[in-house]
Amino acid sequence: MAKNKTPNQNKDKQSPPDLFEMARQGQEAFAEILKSTTATATAAFDPLNLTGSFVEASKSLASDPSKLVQANLDLWQEHMKLWQHATQRLAGEESEPVATPEKGDRRFKHARWSEDQMFDLIKQSYLITSRWLLNTMENLTDLDKKDAQKVSFYTRQFVDAFSPSNFALTNPEVLEATLNSKGENLVRGMDNLKRDIAEGGGNLKIAMTDKDAFEVGVNLATTPGQVVYQNEIMQLIQYEPSTKKVRKRPLLIVPPWINKYYILDLKPENSFVKWIVDQGYTVFLVSWANPDESLAEKTFEDYMQQGIIDACDAIEKATGCDEMTAIGYCIGGTLMAATLAYMAAIGDERIKAVTFFTAQVDFSEPGDLGVFIDEHQLDSLDKRMAEKGYLEAGDMYTTFNMLRSNDLIWSFYVNNYLLGKDPLQFDLLYWNGDSTNMPRETHMYYLRECYLHNNLVKPGALVLKGVPIDLSKINIPVYLQSSKEDHIAPYHSVFKLRKNVSGPVRFMLAGSGHIAGVVNHPDANKYQYWINEDQPDNLDEWIEGAEEHPGSWWPDWNKWLAKQSGAKKTEARKPGDGKLKPIEAAPGSFVKA
């Protein structure tokens, strides 16, 4: 059987693929998927709690027959327009398409989707029908908010899955590759499928990048530094200074423990950590442990104490400075907000200013992740986590990929299995696949108290280490970053933090999404950001008066942080200069687990 040949290799010597061998491989691959699915199935018949939502949707459709009839009439009329368009094109006449892909939809970028009349008809028919289905299900006005969100989200998953681009016989690029390579693309695709099933331990884990092209500490996470402190759940990295003088207050960065920290320290040319070190700050960063059974009982309180507070203690010992600034990213920002309220309540004023990257504290409008949160689903999840004491990394990986299924699932499905190509070398996607486990106690507390009950913004509803949490006690300066296309922490949800804290807040809206909206090096000259210098409390007013600026927001943030950090007059602090001695070189061992 041919192994990873390109279509042009040995073109004259190629023979037709062994169809029986391809069928056998396909049977083996899907047998493995079926086997793993059966083995991991839970006792719950409906772990995603979809039945009730779709039953209510069916009732809503049936309750207003005239509305359903009108929707079907609209669909019929659109298809009649499409047939008229197709007939005109067949006759050689110019005709404007009835339906076109949305901006950024890369499924139909191949030229034949537009140039070939048959594939153009297939494409437009799909777009018309899928939009009709989505609009019909999204306009059910008598559903409650949670049911409506579920119905909309899973209808979109269905629509995305059945795109003609996902099937070999209706994808012109796949057909072209199959003819040119005499089916070698499908043979390679089957090999890739078997490889990805093996990589996922029996579950399909679609390869998004060439894993062999990257290694943490070699060409990722290479900013020089030392681990100067560690405990059960984190290592604290202090980075080597790159300037002779630094600002007085050191900076503590707390990333999410859902992923590994080096999203902020990818390659040198897009490393946030390297850039901020080069601006003259003493930078410390938390590298979380990848939990196993031994950390199953670790609580949200433990992450607060052993994560942020222990880090503050260590920074004080390492630098001799009892004042610092901090960053909390995503769930690390949620933890940071709770910790700052706790510290304020007990009189701990060491953190003098804080930055939040795409972090939510008010979960009343949590974004697409909210579709996975209700009592039934959390009970089902808790039972699964009880078996090992943690949520396996692959579960979170799949969940986040579903939020952008066309980009993070189906595009790779087509590339890897239908086109038979190997994935490209992409550092961001390597990080995306290097996910972590979630400790049971901490994860369930976070989901129930924040997502389900929204208790973090209710004064006194959360009690950490015996102290009622009240975010209004946070009266230090805040820089609040959000991203315009963020599906995980929508900017309108992030904005709500302004109303929960008492200190001055500089809200900023960046272009792009949850990751690229944060990791946007100024040298890249990509995207843009918006600032309203008046900083009104109403989001609509803020957006109306916001000014767009090209490129990265990092320089704007640096100007703000410099004012909070003191003059650049302190001799550069090297790891080991203070009371803490280096344990091991960065990136440390925790991030490699």
- Give 185-228 pLDDT, tens digit per residue: 999 999 999 998 888 777 788 888 888 899 999 999 999 999 99
Domain boundary pick from 154, 182, 210: 182
If you write DSSP's letter for every residue of 320-336 in order, what string do you get?
S-S-EEEEEETHHHHHH
Rounded distance between C-alpha atoms, residue 413 and residue 394, angstroms? 17
Are residues 359 and 477 both part of a single domain? yes
Structure confidence by residue, pLDDT tens digits, 497-534 = 999 999 999 999 999 999 999 999 999 999 999 999 99
Query: pLDDT by residue for the chain (593 residues), tens digit each?
Result: 334 443 344 444 444 555 455 555 555 654 554 454 444 443 345 777 788 888 888 888 888 888 888 889 999 999 999 999 999 999 999 999 999 999 889 999 999 999 999 999 999 999 999 999 999 998 888 888 888 888 998 999 999 999 999 999 999 999 999 999 999 999 999 999 999 888 877 778 888 888 889 999 999 999 999 999 999 999 999 999 999 999 999 999 999 998 899 999 999 999 999 999 999 999 999 999 999 999 999 999 999 999 999 999 999 999 999 999 999 999 999 999 999 999 999 999 999 999 999 999 999 988 888 888 888 888 888 998 898 999 888 777 777 778 778 888 899 999 999 999 998 889 988 998 888 999 999 999 999 999 999 999 999 999 999 999 999 999 999 999 999 999 999 999 999 999 999 999 999 999 999 999 999 999 999 999 999 999 999 999 999 999 999 999 999 999 999 999 999 999 999 999 999 999 999 999 999 98
Instruction: Judge whether 493 lies within some domain.
Output: yes
Please name every residue paired with 312 in a beta bridge, in sequence order, or none if there are none: none
Please name every residue paired with 253 in a beta bridge, in sequence order, or none if there are none: 285, 327
Instruction: Judge whether 22 lies within some domain.
Output: no
Of 312, 321, 330, 450, which residue is the catalytic one? 330
Give the pLDDT of residue 32: 54
Are residues 567 and 507 both part of a single domain? yes
Instruction: Judge whether 77 lies within some domain.
Output: yes
3-class secondary structure, 174: helix
Rounded distance between C-alpha atoms, residue 417 and residue 420, angstroms? 5
Rounded distance between C-alpha atoms, residue 162 and residue 576, angstroms? 57
Give the pLDDT of residue 31: 54
Q: Which residue has the tokens 């299995």?
A: 417
- The token duo for 391 is 């949520």
Domain boundary pick from 182, 203, 234: 182
User: pTM of the prediction?
Assistant: 0.86
Rounded distance between C-alpha atoms, residue 284 and residue 308, angstroms? 11
Amino acid at 362: D
Are residues 69 and 154 both part of a single domain? yes
Gyration radius of the chain over CA positions: 26
Amino acid at 99: A
Are residues 249 and 178 both part of a single domain? no
Instruction: Judge whether 376 lies within some domain.
Output: no
3-class secondary structure, 464: strand
Are residues 157 and 246 both part of a single domain? no
- Helical (H) or strand (E) element with 313: helix 310-319
Using the 8-state DSSP alphabet, how is residue 448 labeled? I
Rounded distance between C-alpha atoms, residue 390 and residue 288, angstroms? 15
Report the candidate in 328, 332, 488 with the shortest Cα–Cα distance to residue 399.
488
Rounded distance between C-alpha atoms, residue 220 and residue 262, angstroms? 7
Hey, CA dihedral for 72, 75, 81, 87, is it positive or negative?
negative
Are residues 318 and 233 both part of a single domain? yes
Q: Provide CB contacts within 8 A for 187, sequence distance 6+.
A: 1, 2, 17, 21, 22, 25, 420
Residue 3: other Cβ atoms inside 10 A? 8
Indicate the angle between helix axes 184-199 and 19-40, nearest 10 degrees: 20
- Helical (H) or strand (E) element with 82: helix 65-90
Amino acid at 145: K
Please name every residue paired with 80 in a beta bridge, in sequence order, or none if there are none: none
Are residues 95 and 236 both part of a single domain? no
Using alpha carbons only, what angle is made at residue 57 by residues 54 and 61, rounded to the nearest 5 degrees? Answer: 140
- The token duo for 367 is 């974004």
Are 246 and 574 spatial neighbours (Cβ–Cβ below 8 Å)? Answer: no
Give the pLDDT of residue 256: 95
If you write DSSP's letter for every residue of 341-361 in order, what string do you get?
HHHHHHT---EEEEEEES--S
Whichever domain contains 492, its CATH number is: 3.40.50.1820
Indicate the angle between helix axes 172-181 and 184-199, nearest 10 degrees: 110
Are 354 and 476 spatial neighbours (Cβ–Cβ below 8 Å)? Answer: yes
Instruction: Judge whether 290 lies within some domain.
Output: yes
Are residues 256 and 124 both part of a single domain? no
Are residues 249 and 348 both part of a single domain? yes
Are residues 495 and 551 both part of a single domain? yes
Is 450 among the catalytic positions?
no
3-class secondary structure, 132: helix
Rounded distance between C-alpha atoms, residue 309 and residue 236, angstroms? 12
Instruction: Judge whether 406 lies within some domain.
Output: no
Rounded distance between C-alpha atoms, residue 372 and residue 480, angstroms? 26
If you write DSSP's letter for every residue of 207-262 in order, what string do you get?
--S-GGG--BTTTBS-S-EEEEEE-SSEEEEEEPP-SSEE-SS-EEEE--SSB-GG
Residue 297: other Cβ atoms inside 10 A? 12
Rounded distance between C-alpha atoms, residue 274 and residue 251, angstroms? 13
Are residues 140 and 254 both part of a single domain? no
Instruction: Judge whether 365 lies within some domain.
Output: yes
Q: Provide CB contacts within 8 A for 311, sequence distance 6+.
A: 229, 234, 236, 252, 254, 284, 286
Cα torsion 26, 29, 30, 36 to 10°: value is 170
Give the pLDDT of residue 147: 86
Please name every residue paired with 230 in a beta bridge, in sequence order, or none if there are none: 235
Domain boundary pick from 130, 149, 182: 182
Residue 561 Cα distances to 50, 303, 352, 410, angstroms? 46, 25, 11, 41
Rounded distance between C-alpha atoms, residue 134 and residue 137, angstroms? 5
Q: Provide CB contacts within 8 A for 400, sequence distance 6+.
A: 408, 432, 488
Residue 123 backbone zone (phi > 0: left; psi -120 to 50: alpha; other: beta): alpha
Instruction: Judge whether 201 lies within some domain.
Output: no
Beta strand residue intervals within 55-170, DSSP E: none
- The token duo for 464 is 């950490």
Are residues 586 and 522 both part of a single domain? yes
Domain that includes residue 80, residue range: 47-182
If you write DSSP's letter for every residue of 11-43 in order, what string do you get?
GGG-----HHHHHHHHHHHHHHHHHHHHHH--S
**Number of structural domains in the chain:** 2
Number of Cα atoms under 13 Å in the Cβ half of residue 96: 1
